[in-house]
Amino acid sequence: MTIDSLSSSECHQGVRIHWKRPNLGLREWKGSKDNNIIWNDGYETHNFAPFKDTNPACKPDERFKAVGGTIASKGLLTFKSPDGIHWSKLSDGPVVTQGAFDSHNTVFWDDARQRYTMYVRYFSEVDFKGLRSIGVSYSTDFKSWSEPVGLTYADQHPQQMYTNQVAPYYRAPHVLMGFPTRFVARPLSKHAKQLEPVKTRALFAKSIENSGAYTGAEITDGLFMTSRDGRAFHRWGEAFLRPGPEAEGRWIYGDNYQSYGLFETASATPGLPNEISLHFNEHSWRDETHRLRRYTLRLDGFVSLHAPLDGGELITKLLTFAGHRLTVNYATSAMGSLRVEIQDADGNPLPGFSLADADELFGDSVHQTVSWKDQTDVGSLHGKPIRLRFQLRDGDVYAFQFTEQ
């Protein structure tokens, strides 16, 4: 028996949350300042990408920063703001010039590595030369940046990606998570012509006829990937977000792009744990219906260790911990179960923490304390090298951690 590592399928459409569009009166557009525009001075408006700078040494008037630019601007320029609303240029010219840029280029302060990290649109090299890909650049002062280098992927399957949406996971900042948009090129077959949105696809196909670059049958969906060093990523080949039912009309290039950022929100059902919200766009070629849709999933619910009813087991790598409780984020069926054994470095069950001692867990919780004969304290193993052995039936384990309480 084996446990499969799968992308979670528990991404649900969220309830509506109402937003208000402010009238800022800052920038003139078509003879009026009656709008919410914060910047409209150049090519960088195509992909203006702001972020809050969490660097402790950040100047007060640069608490918010941004990058933006295209090939026309000869690269990415930088910007600053004290409040995220009033912006001015920070760099005199482009700080990164190698790349394609006509996408969302993301930046953040990486506190674990004490540097700024920028992910840009990039074209791959070596084995899969010329594919739409992602590059990464670094800076310690937000002024001088390294030349972007391409990301690497353990699967080595050639897949084309537009946006990257890489950021530290707010619940475990040492882990970087990305939600790239996958670009899939297909011939304009009879079947493709019948996929909704039929009219939009026909107009798009006609507009690029004889261009040699597109056919009109290109499709985009969402992927998921993680990394601990920021360059070598584990990328799941299965879609994190599929385009969905054909009648909803998202089977076309430009749809299913994820917005930047994850947001913890309250559940729509009172008493349930908080959820993670994330936004994807839809109907990108249809101005009258173009919108963002909010999806939700359980905390840490991006990937799970899954086992069927016949059962499966997994033994972790060697690890050390601090704390007095082992908690798991898990879900089982009514017949499913989870038991956890703690082993020494050689794989031998530790006295009092064997599978025979382990209490059977069943249910659905994002924070379940593991116990052995009703005892939960694992503090005696603090700092010692151990392994965890999970025995699982018809269930999923999303995460585990050691805590004080």
The CATH number of whichever domain residue 338 belongs to comes to 2.60.120
If asked whether residues 140 and 266 sit together in one domain, one would say yes
pLDDT reading at 5 higher than 50: no
At 166 the pLDDT is: 97
Task: Give yes or no: residues 79 and 100 share one domain.
Answer: yes
**Does a structural domain hold residue 192?**
yes
Alpha-carbon span 120 to 71, nearest angstrom: 13
**30 and 113 co-located in one domain:** yes
By the 8 A CB rule, do 194 and 274 touch?
A: no
Contacts of 191-195 spanning 24+ positions with Cβ under 8 A: 192/216, 192/217, 193/217, 195/246, 195/251, 195/252
Lowest-confidence segment of 204-218, 259-273, 283-297 by average pLDDT = 204-218
Q: In the prediction, which pLDDT does 14 show?
A: 60
Asked if the structure places residue 176 within a domain, the reply is yes
Distances (CA, A) of 299 to 10, 213, 280, 281, 340: 11, 40, 18, 22, 21
Q: Are residues 364 and 291 in the same domain?
A: no
pLDDT of 72: 85
Q: What's the burial of 249, exposed, middle or buried (CB within 10 Å: 0-12/13-18/19+)? A: buried
User: Which whole number is the average pLDDT over 286-305?
Assistant: 93
Domain of residue 289, residue span: 11-298
The stretch 377-403 carries a mean pLDDT of: 97
Q: Which two tokens stand for residue 57?
A: 């040494």
Q: Which of 298, 322, 350 is the C-terminal boundary of a domain?
A: 298
Whether omega before 308 lies within 30 degrees of 0, making that bond cis, reads no
Q: How many domains does the chain have?
A: 2
Nearest to 301 by CA among 15, 10, 12, 13: 10
The predicted model scores a pTM of 0.90
Q: Give rounded-to-5 percent helix, strand, coil for the chain.
A: 5, 40, 50
Q: Which of 277, 298, 319 is the last residue of a domain?
A: 298
Please say if the pLDDT value at position 3 is more than 70.
no
Picking from 298, 321, 349, the residue at the C-terminal end of a domain is 298
> Are residue 250 and residue 167 in the same domain, yes or no?
yes
Neighbour-count burial for 124-152, b at 16+ CB within 10 Å, e otherwise: beeebeebbbbbbbbbeebeebeebebbe
Q: Are residues 182 and 224 in the same domain?
A: yes
Residues 166 and 202 in one domain: yes
Residues 339 and 251 in one domain: no
Percent of the chain with pLDDT over 70: 94
What is the DSSP secondary structure assignment for residue 204, as one 8-state letter?
Answer: H
**Which contiguous run of DSSP H or E holds residue 248?**
none
Sequence-ordered list of residues with C-beta below 8 angstroms from that of 385, at least 6 positions apart, any chain: 318, 319, 320, 344, 345
The answer as to whether 1 is a domain residue is: no
Domain-embedded: residue 3: no
Structural domain includes residue 384:
yes
Work out the mean pLDDT of the chain and round it to a whole number. 91
Pick from 184, 177, 94, 178: which is nearest to 132 by CA? 184
**Count of CB atoms situated within 10 Å of the CB of 204:** 20
Using the structure block, give the residue that is written with the tokens 């890909």: 133
CA nearest to 321, candidates 386, 366, 365, 266: 386
d(CA 182, CA 134): 11
Determine the Cα–Cα distance for residues 164 and 148; give it in Å rounded to an integer. Answer: 14
| 378 found inside a domain | yes
Q: What average pLDDT does this structure show over 280-301?
A: 93
- Tell me: do 266 and 396 sit in the same domain: no
- Same domain for 204 and 169, yes or no, is yes
Order of all β-strands in the sheet with 115-123: 106-110, 115-123, 132-139, 149-150
**Both 313 and 294 in a single domain?**
no
51 part of a folded domain: yes
CATH assignment of the domain containing 241: 2.115.10
Shared domain check, 314 and 279: no
Whole-number Cα distances in Å, 246 to 192, 194, 214, 252:
11, 10, 21, 10
Q: Is residue 5 part of a domain?
A: no
